[in-house]
C-alpha cells in the first residue's frame, strides 16, 4: 500500500494528524527574556533561571510539531546568527519585542503575558541615587544628571520620563542612556564619588541581580521614586504562522498554569495569561 492508499484508509482524525505531521515544519521560538537562564546568571538562587527549553518540549507535544528554542540578547541577533531569519513565537520584554519587530518589519500579534512568581505581568522603573546622596524624592532631582535606559525599554525610558515630567523635573532634549542597568548603576556611583549629582533608572526585575552578581554592594543605591507599572514579559506570534497554528500556540501557552513543574521551571505563579491580570497598559 502506497502513502496515498494509506491516507485514504485512515479514519478522519488519523488523516488530519498524518497530514499535519507530514506537512508542518519546525516551530521556531526566539527567547529574549532577560530572566531566561542562558541570558542571566545564577547569582540569586531560584531567580532569573527560567528554563524555556522545557516550554519548547511542552509546546512540541501540544502543537504536534518539532520546536526549536533559541536564546539571544536581541531579536536581530537571533535572526541573523541563529534562526536564519525565522521566528514563529517571540518571548521577551513587551516594549522591546514591539520595537525590535518593527525594525525587522515583522508582523506580530500579542497572545499572552507571562506572570512572575507574584502573579504580576508588569515591572517598574526604579529611580535610584547613591546611598548618601542628599536627594530624597524624584522632585529633588532638578539639576541632576539622569541616566536612562534605551528607548526600547519603557520602564527605563518612556515611563521614567513621564514620571519626571509629572513631578516637574526637566527632561533633557538629548537624554543620556545606557544599555544595561549595571552600566547605569556603576555610572551613578562613579559620578557620585566625583562629587556630581546623578541618578539612574533601573528595571525592578534587575534590582536583585545587581547586588547578587556583585555589580554593586548591598545598599550602595537608594530608591527615590518609581514609575507606573508597564508590561513585562510577553509572547508574540508572527505573521508566518497560520491562524490554526496561532490558535494552537496561544491555547498551549494559556494552559501552562496547569503544569506546575513547568511553572516552576519558568518561575511563574499563574503561567501565561491574557489579557494582563493587573492593569498593564496595552499599546
Average pLDDT, the chain: 90
Q: Where are the domains of the chain?
A: 3-120+231-273, 125-228
Closest CA to 92 of 43, 144, 52, 137: 52
Higher pLDDT, 77 or 18: 77
- CATH code of 3-120+231-273, in short, is 3.40.190.10
Q: Band the pLDDT of 9: cuts 50, 70, 90.
A: very low
pTM for the complete prediction? Answer: 0.89
Q: Each residue of 167-218: pLDDT tens digit?
A: 999 998 999 999 999 999 999 999 999 999 999 999 999 999 999 988 999 9
Is residue 24 predicted with pLDDT exceeding 90? no
Whether the pLDDT of residue 2 is over 90: the answer is no
* pLDDT score recorded for residue 63: 96
If one counts every other C-beta atom within 10 angstroms of the C-beta of residue 23, the result is: 8
Write down the pLDDT at residue 196: 97
pLDDT value for 184: 97
Q: Which of 16-20, 77-81, 95-99, 239-243 has the lowest mean pLDDT?
A: 16-20
In 3D, which of 150, 132, 129, 33 has the Cα closest to residue 160? Answer: 150
- For the beta sheet containing 198-203, the strands, ordered from the edge strand earlier in sequence to the opposite edge, are 176-177, 145-148, 198-203, 125-130, 221-226
Q: Average pLDDT for residues 233-240, to the nearest whole number? A: 96
Predicted confidence (pLDDT) at residue 3 exceeds the cutoff of 70: no
Name the CATH topology of 125-228: D-Maltodextrin-Binding Protein; domain 2 (3.40.190)
Does this chain's domain 3-120+231-273 share its CATH topology with 125-228? yes
Q: 123-154 burial, b if ≥16 CB within 10 A, otherwise e?
A: bbbbbbbbeebebeebebbeebebbbbeebbb
Amino acid at each position: 500500500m502506497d502513502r496515498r492508499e494509506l491516507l485514504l484508509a485512515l479514519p478522519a482524525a488519523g488523516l488530519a494528524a498524518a497530514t499535519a505531521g507530514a506537512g508542518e515544519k519546525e516551530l521556531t521560538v526566539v527567547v529574549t527574556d532577560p530572566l531566561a537562564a542562558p541570558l542571566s546568571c545564577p547569582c540569586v538562587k531560584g531567580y532569573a533561571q527560567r528554563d524555556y527549553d522545557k516550554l519548547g518540549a511542552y509546546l512540541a507535544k501540544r502543537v504536534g510539531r518539532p520546536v526549536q528554542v533559541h536564546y539571544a540578547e536581541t531579536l536581530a541577533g537571533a535572526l541573523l546568527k541563529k534562526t536564519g531569519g525565522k521566528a514563529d513565537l517571540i518571548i521577551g520584554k513587551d516594549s522591546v519585542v514591539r520595537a525590535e519587530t518593527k525594525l525587522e518589519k515583522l508582523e506580530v500579534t500579542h497572545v499572552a503575558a507571562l506572570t512572575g512568581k507574584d502573579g504580576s505581568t508588569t515591572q517598574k522603573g526604579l529611580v535610584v541615587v547613591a546611598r548618601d546622596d542628599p536627594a530624597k524624592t524624584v522632585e529633588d532631582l532638578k539639576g541632576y544628571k539622569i541616566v536612562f535606559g534605551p528607548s526600547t525599554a519603557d520602564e527605563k525610558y518612556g515611563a521614567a520620563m513621564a514620571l519626571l515630567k509629572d513631578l516637574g523635573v526637566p527632561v533633557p532634549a538629548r537624554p543620556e542612556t545606557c544599555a544595561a542597568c549595571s552600566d547605569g548603576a556603576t555610572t551613578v556611583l562613579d559620578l557620585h564619588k566625583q562629587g556630581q549629582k546623578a541618578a539612574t533608572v533601573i528595571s525592578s526585575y534587575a534590582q536583585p541581580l545587581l547586588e547578587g552578581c556583585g555589580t554593586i554592594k548591598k545598599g550602595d543605591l537608594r530608591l527615590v521614586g518609581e514609575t507606573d507599572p508597564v508590561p513585562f514579559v510577553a509572547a508574540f506570534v508572527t505573521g508566518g504562522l497560520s491562524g490554526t497554528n496561532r490558535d494552537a500556540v496561544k491555547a498551549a501557552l494559556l494552559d501552562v498554569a496547569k503544569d506546575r513543574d513547568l511553572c516552576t521551571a519558568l518561575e511563574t505563579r499563574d503561567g501565561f495569561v491574557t489579557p494582563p491580570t493587573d492593569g498593564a497598559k496595552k499599546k
